[in-house]
Amino acid sequence: MTGNKTGTKVRSEREHMKKALDLISVLLLAAGAVYYLGGSFSGLAALSSGAALYLFNIYYFQGKEKTLSAVKKYLSRLIVPLIGIAAAVVSGAVIMLLTGYDPIESYTALFYGGFVKNWYVAVLNATPLIFTGLSIAFAFKAGLFNIGAEGQYYIGAMAGAWLGFKLELPPLIAIILVYAAGSFLASLWNFIPALLKVKTGAHEVITTMMFAHIARYLSPIFIRAFGGDPATSTHPYVTWELPESSWLLSFKSFIPDANYRLHTGILIAVAAAFFVSYVLENTKTGFEIKAVGFNKEAARVQGISVGKNIFIAMMFAGALAGMAGITQVLGLDHKLFENLQAGYGWNGISVALLASNNPVGVIFTSLLWGALDAGGQYMARTTHTPNSIVEIIKGIMLFLIVAKYIYIYAARLIKKKKGGGSV
Amino acid sequence: MSFLMFLNTDLLVATVRLSTPITLAALGATVCERAGVVNIAMEGIMIIGAFFAAVTAFYTGNPWLGLASGVLAGGIYSLIHAAAAISLHLDHVVSGAVLNILAFGITRYLMVLFFGHPGTSDAIPSFLGDYQFAVPLLSKIPVLGPVFFNQTPIIYISFILVIFLAWFLKHTRTGLHIRAAGEHPLALETIGVSVYKIKYLAVFISGLASGLAGAYLSIENNVSFTEGMTNGKGFIALAAMISGGWSAAGSFLSALFFGFADALQIRFQVFRIFHVPEELFIIFPYAATIIAVAGFVRRSRPPKADGVDFIIEKENE
Amino acid sequence: MKKGIRLAVLIIAAAMMLSVASCKKEEKKAEEKKLLASMATDVGGLGDKSFNDGANQGLELVKEKLGADVKVVESKQQTDYVPNLIGLAEDGSDIVFAVGFLMEQAVKEAAKNNPDTKFAGIDIWAGDGDPSNFMGILYKEHESGYLAGVVAGMMTKEYASASPKFNDKNVVGVVLGMFIPPVEKFEVGFIQGVKSVNPDCKVLSVTTGSFVDQAKGKEAALAMIEQGADIVFQVAGLTGLGVIQACKEKGVAAIGVDVDQSAVAPDTVLTSAVKQIPRTVYLAVEAVKNNTFTGGTKVYGIEDDATGISPFHEFESVVPQAVKDKVAQVTADMKAGKIKIETTRAALGM
């Protein structure tokens, strides 16, 4: 009896201990992520120690085998992307060699520029991409192809600028309201495509794409209406500056070393990714949307309203892509530019697919894309290699990472050879 | 100038010119999707076709060789899509997106290698627009004559292709096989036809057609290649194919509709009928497409097995 | 258990030290070097046959005449502007050019953060509050447009008999890429130029919405030619190549933009409304070399030979002396400040 009691006591103590350590590791990971995304590499230390603590926790409380299996689990997820990246890098090197550029010099510049020197640019590039990637990934989950995310991006940007001008409120409230109302307006941009999809079956690829073109050409009209003060500039191609109350907090305000342009929009993007992940995995709506995306007929048989869920998915996707535009305006530019080639909607397709539509995965693929773009610029500046090679490497990478069957074939081939040898 | 002066034959001729690249790419996409392979890569294939057509025409001085190489380049490039989507069982949309990304990188990279500068290629010495010819007698028919029977080579090819593909898909053995591959691939396989081969063929045809669309832009309509000259036409073709109900004739009509709206939009600007920002004119064809899709297009159905991965595990391999 | 915690702390400490050690500060190289002039393009990139190419030509000129090193980097998206400009400054550039009005904010930021480097912005305005190491360079595009308009206005009516390219409809056209300020100034100037010599002339105008869509440019020009336009002015970047092609096919005349585009189609391009970006880039670099660089806005116009029209080349014999005299006279009047040219459509009541 007494022995049993002490046993319980010890166990509960161990439980507390485990929970506390878990909490510390999560906090370390979160703080590390914030600092790392803020451009401070001390964040990496916190990240890696958080991860180490997490593993140590498993080791200490659950034993060696569990640790190994956890490590294996994460590594096995990483193995295909890493092989894909490596193979793309090698193919890029071959192309460079064939066309007379130095691959080692180029890659040193590419990776140093993207992940170290101009890491903050990578984060800036990734911020809108995460939102549009999420938008596209979410629609894909419902079996929809939101090819017009670009348009919702423009609407979000316009709505963000417009509300930023109109709402004269204290900082935090202004930002929250702009996000709420702006993403609502952007989701409204998908209202007609959603309605047509449900009522007449008009394909969303047609309607959202046409709406994207429309939104894109509405932006110069908007800019002319809200800018071009000849007293400050001779060029009315850009709106007035937003009042500071609607600017997003910059990292510099709490990390002194951070680049002054780097804003906390990336944190909102990351939070949005976890939110989308939560919605898809843990809510009824998420379940229904996935069911509709997986098989409409089966979903209908189960009593799930296909129309309603398609509608929800389209509107939500519109809101997410709109947030990309809002974040860009409130965080980075503080005004709306005549953005001749935004392209975030199109690139969002790549990052969503690269992450196989996994919302949390979109964060990493966007950062990778952002870093490659930032590094490509650095490479083009410091070496003679043209940065269009980066586009080619990106394409090959996407191809090799998503084409899992390559690895299955490769595995089979190896097996066959081995089998052949023994006979 | 009278108000409705722009409603003339020239408007219709312009319509045909503007819709030809869309028609060709949409025709290709129709064949591809009929075989059950989703294709969103027309934009990328077009730009590859346009580039190689211009390069060949530039170096050989012969636009016909340019035409052939543009078409072939499109076909070969599309085989990547076939290999990825059919053999490697990659999601079709993913593979298409990859092709689009790659195409812009490749052409920009090669542009510097071939011409020493990015942006636009040097002008080709002779182009297919020189080979405009009027079909005797038929071109004398009022309205229809100049629109359909006094055109340049690729435009004629596009007319022929519409008729040919409509017939081909319905009445030939291979056409039936292509459609079966998109509807009931398993049934096709059981009667001893290789679904993989049929799908490869369909993707290849779509690549040829999109390559032709690209060649039209760079060596028939114009005399040089410009980066990004497709300007979204491949995606408009996707929309045309879908709103055309996955059929050759439907794709053609939808493409014509878009071309018509675009030609009309330009004339609205020339005549400056309304005093509004020009961007509203530019928007017109897109808005018109939405209205047309909302109002007139009945619920159309893609092929049953469109985009569905088809895996045959062969035994005793 | 205590052992466990100690271990955890140790791991954290080790990881932190590792990452701190890996964060080395960069060392700037201070080598002796030649004058280095560099530029960052906007998202249009090189090969735009417009301001990016123009600035690049300016750097070529600098390389050739001043023996300086030059460096060009192309921006792919808006977030690239600041790092590219600052990066070029860190590479040891003596002057960094930001090309295109989209880079206004970026170049001013870069200038503020790199006070030892000179910056210049093509098509960018510099105000009182802007850093003194930044020079904004603007052009009076409307002057070039005006002169082109004078030629077009006279050729399409009075001297239409000079060549079979011209007809008696008294219509000319302008094809615009996107409706942005430099484009607007060219167009508005052109319209005023035409009207100044030929008040009844009809000036058609189409905006294509793109700077790269040749097919669209061609259709826009063809639609104008259908309505009797015999001279089409293109202000549309690469889209404009389609405009020139349309004019060539239909046997009418075209007017090029930004640079002398006669080489594109010598038998079609009547003249070009030029903007001498190369020359102004050269002047800015020369000022740096001679230590005479000053901040503020430099507006280049006809008096600096920075705006105007290109030679007539193959049309030299077609264009009558009266037109050439008129151009010379208008040029002189402009230099003397006798001609007031509006720069916006709003001012024309359009």
ipTM of the complex: 0.90
CB within 8 Å: B286 and A210: yes
B9-131+142-295, CATH topology level: ABC transporter involved in vitamin B12 uptake, BtuC (1.10.3470)
Among C59, C48, C42, CA closest to C103: C42
> Which chains share 3+ C-beta pairs under 8 angstroms with C?
A, B
Q: Could you give the 3-state DSSP secondary structure of residue C292? A: coil
Contacts of B242 in chain A (CB under 8 A): 203, 205-206
| Cross-strand pairs, C206 | C175
* Residues C53 and C177 both lie in one domain: no
DSSP for A179-207 reads HHHHHHHHHHHTHHHHHHHHHT---HHHH
On average, the pLDDT of chain A sits at 88
- C-alpha distances in Å from residue C323, one per residue of C150, C157, C159, C197: 8, 12, 9, 10
Q: Does a structural domain hold residue C11?
A: no
User: Which residue would you say has higher pLDDT here, B304 or B12?
Assistant: B12
* Residues C234 and C173 both lie in one domain: yes
CB within 8 Å: C83 and A17: no
CB nearest C23 (choices: A41, A261, A380): A41
User: Which residue would you say has higher pLDDT here, B275 or A72?
Assistant: A72
* pLDDT at residue C119, rounded to an integer: 96
* pLDDT at residue A337, rounded to an integer: 79
- φ/ψ of C234, rounded to 5, equals -105, 130
Contacts of C15 in chain A (CB under 8 A): 45, 48-49, 52
Look at chain C and count its residues. Answer: 350
* pLDDT at residue C25, rounded to an integer: 39
CB within 8 Å: C181 and A235: yes
CB nearest C223 (choices: B267, B272, B278): B267
Lowest mean pLDDT among C16-20, C45-49, C71-75, C248-252: C16-20
| Nearest CA distance, A217 vs chain B (angstrom) | 6
> CA of C48: which chain B residue's CA is closest?
B119
Identify the CATH number of the domain in which residue C162 sits: 3.40.50.2300
Prediction pTM value? 0.89
Cα–Cα–Cα angle for C299, C135, C141, rounded to 5 degrees:
25
Q: Taking the domains of chain B in order of start, what are their residue ranges?
A: 9-131+142-295
Residue A337 near chain C (CB below 8 Å): yes
* Residues C156 and C96 both lie in one domain: no
Contacts of A261 in chain C (CB under 8 A): 82, 109
Is a pLDDT exceeding 50 seen at residue B171?
yes
Domain membership of residue C289 as a residue range: 36-139+278-303
Task: Count the domains in chain C.
Answer: 2
CB within 8 Å: A210 and B98: no
* Residues C106 and C251 both lie in one domain: no
* Residues C161 and C114 both lie in one domain: no
* Residues C214 and C339 both lie in one domain: yes
Residue A333: band (very low, low, confident or very high) from pLDDT cuts 50, 70, 90 = confident
Is a pLDDT exceeding 70 seen at residue C2?
no
* pLDDT at residue A235, rounded to an integer: 54
- Listed by number, the residues of chain A in 19-48 with a beta carbon closer than 8 Å to a beta carbon of chain C are 21, 28, 41-42, 44-46, 48
Q: Could you give the 3-state DSSP secondary structure of residue C137? A: strand
Residue A341 near chain C (CB below 8 Å): yes
> Which chains share 3+ C-beta pairs under 8 angstroms with B?
A, C
Q: Does a structural domain hold residue C102?
A: yes
Judged on CB neighbours under 10 Å (0-12, 13-18, 19+), C322 is: exposed
* pLDDT at residue A176, rounded to an integer: 93
Is a pLDDT exceeding 60 seen at residue A154?
yes
* Residues C71 and C149 both lie in one domain: no
Cα–Cα distance for residue pair C173/C204, rounded to 1 Å: 4
Contacts of C87 in chain A (CB under 8 A): 118, 377-378, 381-382
pLDDT above 90 coverage of chain C, percent: 67
CB within 8 Å: B227 and C220: no
**Mean pLDDT within A362-380:** 94
Q: Does a structural domain hold residue C197?
A: yes
CB within 8 Å: B109 and A386: yes
Query: Could you report the per-residue pLDDT of C103-155, keeping only the tens digit for each?
Result: 888 899 899 989 999 999 998 888 888 899 999 999 999 999 999 999 999 99
Among B234, B74, C100, B27, CA closest to A346: B234
Is a pLDDT exceeding 70 seen at residue C10?
no
* pLDDT at residue C42, rounded to an integer: 87
> Which chains share 3+ C-beta pairs under 8 angstroms with A?
B, C
Q: Does a structural domain hold residue C314?
A: no
In A, what residues contact B, Cβ < 8 A? 95, 99, 145, 147, 192, 196, 200-203, 205-207, 209-211, 213-214, 217-218, 220-221, 224, 346, 349-350, 353, 386, 388-392, 394-396, 398-399, 402-403, 405-406, 409
> CA of B19: which chain C residue's CA is closest?
C215
* pLDDT at residue C12, rounded to an integer: 55
